[in-house]
């Protein structure tokens, strides 16, 4: 299935809903190479897997402005895909 490019307001709503369901949502910033034509994307990921919901922007700086409020940046884990540049999640998920 193709990705669903969403707006920041929907990203915040999806993130909040995942938290309410007891999930631990995260946003993975992905550099997928030439297929993205110079764009970066951030994909919503839950413990159930990678979703189809993505935020898209021409730069890392502009992509970061689209994340739901209250998230903090962390480096990818060794188990993350190689194209994951950085990860954004709630501060409480760091503990």
Question: What pLDDT score does 95 carry?
Answer: 44
User: What is the enclosing helix (H) or strand (E) of 10?
Assistant: helix 8-20
Give the 3-state secondary structure of residue 41: strand
Intra-chain end-to-end CA distance of the chain, in Å: 34
Question: Tell me: the pLDDT tens digits for 18-30?
Answer: 999 999 999 999 9
> What ranges do the domains of the chain cover?
4-94
Question: What pLDDT score does 37 carry?
Answer: 76
Could you tell me which of 2, 57, 81 has the C-alpha nearest to residue 26?
A: 81
Question: Tell me: the pLDDT tens digits for 39-65?
Answer: 899 999 999 999 999 999 999 999 999
Question: What pLDDT score does 71 carry?
Answer: 96
Mean pLDDT of the chain: 90
The answer to whether the CB of 57 falls within 8 A of the CB of 39 is: yes
């Amino acid at each position: 299935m193709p990705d669903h490019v969403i707006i920041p307001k929907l990203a915040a709503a999806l993130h909040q809903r995942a938290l309410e369901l007891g999930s631990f949502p995260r946003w993975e910033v992905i550099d997928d190479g030439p297929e993205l034509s110079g764009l970066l994307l951030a994909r919503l990921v839950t413990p159930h897997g990678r979703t189809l919901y993505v935020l898209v922007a021409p730069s890392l700086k502009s992509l970061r402005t689209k994340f739901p409020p209250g998230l903090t940046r962390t480096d990818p884990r060794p188990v993350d895909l190689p194209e994951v540049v950085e990860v954004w999640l709630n501060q409480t998920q760091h503990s």
